[in-house]
Amino acid sequence: MRIEADLYYIENWSLWFDLKILLLTPFKGMLAPNAY
């Protein structure tokens, strides 16, 4: 799964995609049931 995600990122890189990742990461981490 991780390799597929990395390949998707490489093929779809953009500034907006990076900003989306940065903004959504904290929320996904807080809402994930297996988050630390």
Identify whether the C-beta of residue 25 lies closer than 8 Å to the C-beta of residue 31: no
The CA distance from 2 to 29, in Å, is 17
Rg of the Cα trace of the chain? 12
Which carries the bigger pLDDT value, residue 2 or residue 30?
2
CA 7 to chain centre: 12
Per-residue pLDDT band for 16 (boundaries 50, 70, 90) equals very high
- Reading the block at residue 14, the tokens are 């953009």
Query: Quick one: pLDDT at residue 32?
Result: 72
**What is the average pLDDT across 15-21?**
94
Query: Quick one: pLDDT at residue 36?
Result: 60
For the entire predicted model, the pTM comes to 0.57
